[in-house]
A and B are shown apart, each in its own frame.
Chain A
């Protein structure tokens, strides 16, 4: 796979605070890379650097969009976290304005817009003003605005925030669709379930520094331990003395047993005493969500 964006050692400070500290990663053509991290981790600053809105103090960003190493804004789409559009302007006018800023042919943009209006339940509203639309509808228009010019690289910052569950599913499908058609997507989000189901690879950042980077499965293999939930009347101190157990949390009648690193579930099950009461049992690998929480609370350092 070819690299479409490569970031090397970028650092950005605002006054005394170093917001992004020697960050490097690559985005490959056609993949969905998840950029994850808590609030204030530096995600938005990285995105703004990539989009050329601000410039890093040091380090380089190379693009492979049009044969040069430079940023070609016409080939990049962006859905910012701060949602908004000119309130007093008509939907179609805004979309065409953005297409013109991206040097995209207007008649083609109009066709693309109409196709999306149809798909996203906005048909017949193209002359409506943004202020006349519901919040959800306005967000749909903004999504269309980010892809109206068929970008090669699409940067989505919290793309699903503010959508109802039905629309969330619709847009998850649409994002997958775009990736299959060859659009490279950099997706920044807190919603780990979405990142897990959409992204091939993730880059996790905390306090401006890289925490995790790589293939999602590999990361899970490396960092994700297993956890076993058991519903039943058991003594937690006894459970915690079982072999391979790292710690036990209690949640009512339910005990959550965290296994030690590198222990396979079958090894743990073999050692389970027969007199333990099991009404329900759930054995899973811990999710990206758990990894995220551990990271932020200082569980994982790299």
Chain B
């Protein structure tokens, strides 16, 4: 244990003083912000130019349509004739015209003539036209205003739990645990891969023999797992330290209040157990390889393991207690990701499922760490080639 701590301390110190690590801590949230905001920013920039739409109104519904007029989309009644309009708007990207007549009404097809390639600028008009046409038709059928309103009344489908009554959660209340779960999972994954890199580096730097003549192979492995665990915590810590006040300042959301929900405890447990499971697999696989480039497809596939929950995230969001969510919950390799998702989406995950899947995960983790220890011990001393699947299975049996 003492040696495990020494190895862990070394790994932590080495990384914390390493510029690359510090930069990655700072860069990752920036990149996430960038990928989150830049596309919408660019889209905004793209449609910022106001678009003028001339309406040739043969139905007398201009009044209704003009409501959709905004800074970006200027809807005006055309005063010129069709030929003049054509000439006027030809070659213009910020102008176009539309003809609203009985033909459009009958065919259900409205054509906007413009040389603007995108549909973005005129998108808002679609809904307005729909309503305007419907109203026009109903009026033509002789319905009164109140009858029309009655017909137009919208319907919504609401879901209310039967067994447990609870207050409806607001959007931030739902999103913040999910974001936190996402950060945890990302950290689990990145720290896990770092143990892989570290085992590989140990071999590459040819330090293995020196270290193993001082400490046991299991100490080295556990030290690495522990070390990168602490580094992961540092990473999450730094993000939260800056992220929480920033979010509170910009969005005026009391993050901490939403974060410390009862689900937080099992979420942290699943993240930790997941980290131990994945990092044990990664560190052992790292030991079987000579360099990252020449890994076999088998070793590459191992990397997909923590990604498995992403494949089933859709069905889980649709139904957090459905069959797929249940299968994912009890299959230990997907348990961490699936449970993080379920716990952050729903407050109604049955306690027995949390406990049972937690126990399965814990037992699997212990087993995998034992096997990984065996594999690591043999593989880390092999030089010059990547281990084959057959060799790995043989070493696991030692």
Contacts and interface: CB of A to CB of B under 8 A. Distances in A.
B381 A53 contact: yes
A85 B207 contact: yes
B206 A84 contact: yes
Given A80-B206, A82-B206, A84-B207, A102 B381 contact: no
A101 B215 contact: yes
Given A82-B383, A101-B3, A73 B210 contact: no
Interface in A199-239: none
B304 to A, nearest CB: 29
Nearest to B202: A86
Contacts of A292: none
Interface in B115-129: none
Interface in B320-376: none
Interface in B1-33: 3, 6-7, 10, 13-14, 18
A52 B217 CA distance: 10
A89 interface: yes
B213 A100 contact: no
B7 to A, nearest CB: 8
Contact-size category for B: 20 to 34
B201 to A, nearest CB: 8
Which has the most chain A C-beta neighbours within 10 Å: B10, B210, B211, B215? B210
Nearest to B208: A82
Contact of A52 (B14, B211, B213): B213
Interface residues of A, number: 28
B6 A101 contact: yes
Nearest to B216: A52
A32 interface: no
A102 B214 contact: yes
A88 B211 CA distance: 17
Contact of B209 (A80, A88, A89, A93): A80
A249 B204 CA distance: 47
Contacts of A74: 214
Nearest to B18: A88
Interface of B: 3, 6-7, 10, 13-14, 18, 201, 204-207, 209-215, 381, 383
Q: Which 8 pairs of residues, A with B, have the shortest CB-CB distance?
A: A84-B206, A101-B214, A80-B209, A51-B213, A78-B213, A82-B206, A53-B212, A84-B205
Given A51-B209, A101-B6, A101-B215, 12 more contacts: A51-B212, A51-B213, A53-B381, A76-B213, A82-B206, A82-B209, A88-B18, A89-B14, A101-B7, A142-B210, A146-B210, A155-B213
14 contacts: A51-B213, A53-B209, A53-B213, A73-B214, A73-B215, A80-B210, A82-B383, A84-B207, A85-B205, A86-B14, A86-B205, A87-B205, A142-B210, A145-B210
